[in-house]
Amino acid sequence: MSKKMHITLKVNGEEQEFLAEPRELLIHTLRERLGITGPHIGCETSHCGACTVTLNGKSVKSCTVFVAQADGADITTIEGLGSPDNLHVLQTAFKEHHGLQCGFCTPGMITRASKLLEENPNPTEEEVRFGMAGNICRCTGYQNIVKSILAAAAEMNAVKEAAE
């Protein structure tokens, strides 16, 4: 065991302060220390994306980030994207278009998709497939995930247009 560090994080808008070993992986910090169990552990080698969170505006695989690296960071997980009374458009779209089955990849998938649509609000199917290629799903074959994301994009654009 090494010396513990004083860590400060902002997670889903809430300030968090604690002592942790620098080697603690961010995914474990979120899941075990803070009880934020939406992000999951799938592969542990940064291939599957189940642990995806948004860290300082980037989609990041939290299994491959030490908590020490994240000290001072602003983090959003699936729990911070929407609330039961105010779901994110993607959360609704995934349900509407059957974009999930076992649900294990879903939090990472939706969190990544939210960033993708932020950067590219009007993606083609090919761009969605390429932009989501860091997230593995074993159940759906992706067809309905792609459909869900494209539908969410259309919905978000329609809302934006109506507002303008």
Partner 1 sequence: MIPAAFEYHRPKDMAGVLAVLTQYGDDARVMAGGHSLIPMMKLRMADVPHLIDLQSVEGLGGISVADGVVRLGAMVTQHDIIDSAELASAAPILRETSLQIADPQVRYMGTIGGNVANGDPGNDMPGLMQCLDATFHLVGPDGERTVAARDFYESAYMTAREDDEVLTAVSFAVPQGGYGYVKQKRKIGDYATAAAAVQLVKENGVCTAASIAMTNLSDTPVHSVAAGDALVGTSVDDAAIKAAVQAMLGDIDPAQDNRGPVEFKRHAASVILRRTIERAWSRA
Partner 2 sequence: MKDEVTTRESRVDALGGMGCKRKRVEDARFTQGKGNYVDDIKLKGMLFGDFVRSPYAHARIKSIDTSAALALDGVIAVLTAEDLRPLGLHWMPTLAGDKQMVLADGKVLFQGQEVAYVVAKDRYIAADAVELVEVDYEELPVIVDPFEALKSDVVLREDLVAEDGSLPDGAHGPRKHHNHIFTWEVGEKEATTQVLDSAEVVAEETVYYHRTHPCPLETCGCVASMDKVNGKLTLWGTFQAPHAIRTVVSLISGIEEHNIRVISPDIGGGFGNKVGAYPGYVCSVVASIVTGVPVKWIEDRMENLMTTAFARDYWMTGKISATKEGKITGLQCHVTADHGGFDACADPTKFPAGFMNICTGSYDIPTAYLAVDGVYTNKAPGGVSYRCSFRVTEAVYFIERMIEVLAIELNMDAAELRRINFIRKDQFPYKAALGWEYDSGDYHTAWDKAMKAVDYDGLRAEQAQRVEDFKAGKTRKLMGIGLTHFTEIVGAGPVKNCDILGLGMFDSCEIRIHPTGSAIARLGTISQGQGHATTFAQILATEIGLPADSITIEEGDTDTAPYGLGTYGSRSTPVAGAATALAGRKIRAKAQMIAAYLLEVHDDDVEFDVDRFVVKGAPEKFKTMKEIAFAAYNQAIPGIEPGLEAVSYYDPPNMTYPFGAYVCVMDIDVDTGEVDIRRFYALDDCGTRINPMIIEGQVHGGLTEALAVALGQEIAYDEMGNVKTGTLMDFFLPTAWEVPNYETDHTVTPSPHHPIGAKGVGESPHVGGVPCFSNAVNDAFRAFGLRHTHMPHDHWRIWKTANELGLHG
Residues in touch with partner 2 (CB under 8 A): 1, 21, 23-24, 28, 31-32, 35-45, 47-48, 50, 77-79, 82, 84, 87, 90-92, 94-96, 98, 100-107, 110, 128-130, 132-146
Instruction: List the alpha helices (DSSP H) in 39-137.
Output: 67-70, 89-96, 106-119, 125-131
33 binds, among partner 1, partner 2, none (CB under 5 to 8 A by kind): none
71 binds, among partner 1, partner 2, none (CB under 5 to 8 A by kind): partner 1
116 binds, among partner 2, partner 1, none (CB under 5 to 8 A by kind): partner 1
Select the span of 30-38, 46-54, 93-101, 143-151 touching partner 1 (CB under 8 A).
46-54
64 binds, among partner 1, partner 2, none (CB under 5 to 8 A by kind): partner 1
Q: How far is CA 64 from the centre of its chain?
A: 14
Q: How far apart are the first and last CA of the chain?
A: 56
Q: How far is CA 153 from CA 2, 88, 89, 93, in A?
A: 46, 12, 8, 9
Rounded Cα gap, residues 93 and 109, in angstroms = 12
Q: Which is nearer to partner 2, 31 or 115 (CB)?
A: 31
Decide: is 102 part of the binding site for partner 1 (CB under 8 A).
Answer: no
Rounded Cα gap, residues 114 and 112, in angstroms = 5
Rounded Cα gap, residues 111 and 107, in angstroms = 6
- Interacting residues toward partner 1 by CB under 8 A: 1-3, 5, 21-23, 25, 44-47, 49, 52, 58-61, 64-66, 68-69, 71, 112, 116, 130-134
